Structure 1
Amino acid sequence: MFQVIDEQDDIVSSLNVHTNNNKTIITTTNWKGELRLYDADNSNTTTTSTNKPYLIDNLQFKYPLLSCDPITAYKYYLGDVQGNIIHLDYNYDTPVVNTITKNKNAVTSDKALGICSIKNDPRLSLLITSSWNGVINLIDYRTDLVENSLQLTLDSNSTNNQIQKQCKIFNMDYNSNSNLLVSTITNNLVDIRDIRKLDTPYQLRESGLRDQVRDLKIMPNGSGFAQSSMAGRVAIEYFNNNDNCKLKYGFRCHRINLKDMDFVYPVNSICFGGVGTANSTPHGNNILYTGGSDGVVNKWDYIKKKKLKTFKNFNIANTDNENNIQVNNDNQSVVKLACNEKFLVVATSDDSYKTYPSIIPNEDGLFLSKSKIYMHHI
């Protein structure tokens, strides 16, 4: 059963579940520039909002936020659309916010673009960030100094002269078990690098998906990764092509099949089941969740290539009893998923702005619904 733990006014841009000292914290960022922290165990007794018992804190920043990565329950890093990397520290009486500035080791760019992904490696005390303009930064989060930076480029032929062209990074993930950093980049390519040898690509391959990639996640054991696309498809791939080429496959999902046509929805977010599920479910670590613009979350065993469950459809009309009007949830898309061994968290947002000429209430009293954060105990 899913429980609504909060509503937000803008599109959710990132979602994380972090467990530290037996305490599970959920973090969200949105395009309004808000960071919200939630106590998933509902053990918070100091919150100032009686209507939101899970909410620990809500901070407003100057620019829209794109990404967040918790280091501990008291230390967070954020990325915004201006290319700023922000360090938030709760180890003091009041939260301390610092913006990490470029130093002599950082790659500079004429146009700073948004920090689309942030990951960390606790073994190396390393923060890994990627941006839309193709820059990867490795930051020592003990000192907030940039240890290494790389501008991703692609070879481009122009009048028989080979030139280096900057490329964009759309999605990024990192796994400490394999030390591999995976990015989806320009020209539908997947860039794979070992962070210990950042300047040299480990692999550069074509994506297993023909259409634009919406999300990318590395398997918990570090043997491969999954991608999802705008065209209702998911691809499962492995790093070692020689040994695992026969295991590589793709499948269709988040579609409505009618007699004369098919409705195809983007698969906006994917996540692998938490490591701890190996001791509690017969499917072990083989769980993959997918969330789409159809408002549906599916649960898969990606090793056996089997759908295990379809969760509730979040596109359900509700009634606002306080204002006695109908809330139209028909445009609620599952935009972000996050999970661990205890919780599956779903963020839904109204993405009808992509096709609607306006977002003001109409004469029937219908208005665009707020984003919602749902939590489910696994």
Structure 2
Amino acid sequence: MGEAEFPIQVDQPPRDGITNMHYHPTDPNLLIVSSWDQTLRVYDTATGNAKDTCTFNSPVMDCGFMDKYHVVTGGLDGSVNVVDMNNKKQTTLGSHKEGTRNVCWDAAHGCVYSGSWDKTLQLWDVRSASNTTVELGAKVFSMDLKGHLLGLALSDRHACIYDTRKMDKPWLSTKTSLRHMLKCIRFMPDGSGYASSSIEGRVYLEWFGQPENETKHISFKLHRYNLDETEVVYPVNALAFHPTYNTFASGGSDGAVFTWDTSSYKRIRQYVRFNEEVAHLDVNADGSQLAVACSYTFDEGERPHAPDAIYIRNLSPTDFAPRQS
């Protein structure tokens, strides 16, 4: 299965549902993983060895590096925390009324952004210990930060983009052509646009800077199969862009990982399918590794499922480079 193409498997993976994972923004071999098992785990992806673990009082729904030793987390209990991995000290910045689904660290502004199921976005200034609340009117399902742009995938199927220099209203709010629940939003590395995915086996791409009323966007089908003349559709749980090629990978509940050309919308590569759902993906800062988190997302309700696993592939240009026409 897909494990053969991803020869590095991390040891001591989470025990109860991987909620997110992110590479360090500059260290290409440092990966952080959050989980329903109330842990935050750090791995050396060159070897697959576990480096550190921090335990919380609530499931950890998201995480992100602030620097090499400090991490921001969001909890199911609504908490937003900063963790010093040297001594495991946890400092709570504040909390939401419901679970904190996503967190992002903005080093340029010294600010943590947290998106919640309570339909708010919170801005936590770690220098002044102040915070600002932005009412969204919909739950946050996914979040990404690129430069001064903050992207949110919301429960009303809107992709909402904020300029972090002016947070009084969205810079762009688009009701995507996706007809069902959004799963993931990720910015293109060159800042030209973003991609969002949904449970309906589709990805929506939108580019910025187009003339008014002429926004360039497209959606296309993926992670779908014909079985006995019936189309079987799987959620697209995860997206991850390559920092050099501006192409992206998709991971779905079919256990498959594909890479795609953003400009032609054509598939670059398909890996052999994994034994369990692909819940999260990430490409490291220098584009040399792809991490795949296999973790059951309960799309099919309660069923027997494989233990959580995280696989690492050392990439070559054929993995993500656009095909020559």
Q: 2:72·2:105 contact (CA, 8 Å) conserved in 1?
A: no
Paired position in structure 2 for 1:282: none
Q: 1:336·1:347 contact (CA, 8 Å) conserved in 2?
A: yes
What's the offset of the Cα at 1:33?
0.8
Which runs of at least 4 in structure 1 moved beyond 3 Å after TM superposition?
243-247, 351-354
Inter-CA distance 194–30: structure 2 relative to 1 (3 Å threshold): same
Q: Distance in 2 between matches of 1:250 and 1:292?
A: 16
Max radius of gyration: which structure? Answer: 1
Q: 1:254·1:265 contact (CA, 8 Å) conserved in 2?
A: yes
Identity, in percent, stands at: 28
Paired position in structure 1 for 2:118: 133
Q: 1:30 aligns with which of 10, 21, 35?
A: 35
Which residue identity lines up with residue 288 of structure 2 in the other structure?
Answer: K
Paired position in structure 1 for 2:320: none
Which residue identity lines up with residue 112 of structure 2 in the other structure?
Answer: L
How many residues are matched? 307
What's the offset of the Cα at 1:10?
0.9
Q: 1:270·1:289 contact (CA, 8 Å) conserved in 2?
A: yes
- Secondary structure (helix, strand or coil) at the match of 2:78 reads coil
Q: Distance in 2 between matches of 1:99 and 1:68?
A: 14
Normalization by structure 2: what TM-score? 0.88
- Secondary structure (helix, strand or coil) at the match of 2:211 reads helix
Aligned: 1:56 with 2:51? yes
What's the offset of the Cα at 1:54?
0.9
Which residue identity lines up with residue 50 of structure 2 in the other structure?
Answer: L
Q: 2:201·2:221 contact (CA, 8 Å) conserved in 1?
A: yes
Normalization by structure 1: what TM-score? 0.76
- Secondary structure (helix, strand or coil) at the match of 2:122 reads strand
Paired position in structure 2 for 1:99: 92
Q: 2:14·2:39 contact (CA, 8 Å) conserved in 1?
A: no
Which residue identity lines up with residue 200 of structure 1 in the other structure?
Answer: K
Paired position in structure 1 for 2:252: 292
Paired position in structure 1 for 2:319: none
Which residue identity lines up with residue 154 of structure 2 in the other structure?
Answer: I
Inter-CA distance 244–272: structure 2 relative to 1 (3 Å threshold): farther
Q: Distance in 1 between matches of 2:204 and 2:272?
A: 24
Paired position in structure 1 for 2:266: 306
Q: 1:206 aligns with which of 170, 175, 181?
A: 175
Q: 2:283 aligns with which of 327, 333, 339?
A: 339
Q: Distance in 1 between matches of 2:266 and 2:192?
A: 20
Q: 2:64 aligns with which of 61, 69, 73?
A: 69
Paired position in structure 1 for 2:14: 8
Aligned: 1:187 with 2:187? no
- Secondary structure (helix, strand or coil) at the match of 1:56 reads strand
Aligned: 1:87 with 2:82? yes
Structure 1: gaps of 5 or more residues = 43-52, 103-108, 154-166, 279-284, 316-331, 360-366
When the two chains are superposed, the root-mean-square deviation of aligned CA atoms in Å is 2.1
Aligned: 1:170 with 2:141? yes
Q: Distance in 2 between matches of 1:144 and 1:69?
A: 20
What's the offset of the Cα at 1:187?
2.8
Q: 1:135·1:149 contact (CA, 8 Å) conserved in 2?
A: yes
Q: 2:152·2:159 contact (CA, 8 Å) conserved in 1?
A: yes
Structure 2: gaps of 5 or more residues = 316-325
Inter-CA distance 40–195: structure 2 relative to 1 (3 Å threshold): same
What's the offset of the Cα at 1:306?
1.6
